Amino acid sequence: IVLTGGDDHLWKTWGFPDGNILLTGEGHTDWLSGCCFRPSGTQLVTSSGDTTVRLWDLSRSGCILTLRGHSRAVRGCSWHSCGDFVASASADCTSKIWDVNSERCRYTLRGHKDSVNSIEFLPFSSTVVTSSADKTLSLWDVR
């Protein structure tokens, strides 16, 4: 299974080798910039130009949580390996760490001087790496 998101505001899961669409999710109001499966495989997270991050339940193809707090487009998202936290990177020069259980922003990471374009948790770690249009990479300890 492959997961994609695009300018049509939709995410899709595709089966291989046939290449058929298995699921489609709609709810964002602008392009999708990122999408990835929760480590358990039962949910996914998406980020969008509409400034939101959304969690989706694959069994229902429906949005179960919308995370709001960025003031500009969200450029990327990723799951922590434990599955309890989501990270987001935004054109508003910040990144956020979201606690999906409490449905709140746990931390806002400030320091980049331009759009934060990607974010990833290092595997089995409390360290996050971000990349920015300010031509820097930053490592963050989010404990």
Distance CA 73, CA 137 (A): 19
Domain boundary assignment for the chain: 31-139
Rg of the chain over Cα atoms, rounded to whole angstroms, equals 14
pTM confidence score: 0.94
Handedness of CA 68, 71, 9, 112 (dihedral sign): negative
Assign domain 31-139 to its CATH superfamily.
YVTN repeat-like/Quinoprotein amine dehydrogenase (2.130.10.10)
Q: Please, are residues 85 and 97 in contact by the beta-carbon 8 Å criterion?
A: yes
User: Could you tell me the CA-to-CA distances from 30 to 16, 36, 101, 132 in Å, in that order?
Assistant: 27, 17, 26, 21
Tens digit of each residue's pLDDT, the chain (143 residues): 999 999 999 999 999 889 999 999 999 999 999 999 999 989 999 999 999 999 999 988 699 999 999 999 999 999 999 999 999 999 999 999 999 999 999 999 999 999 999 999 999 999 999 999 999 999 999 98
Q: Please, are residues 74 and 51 in contact by the beta-carbon 8 Å criterion?
A: yes
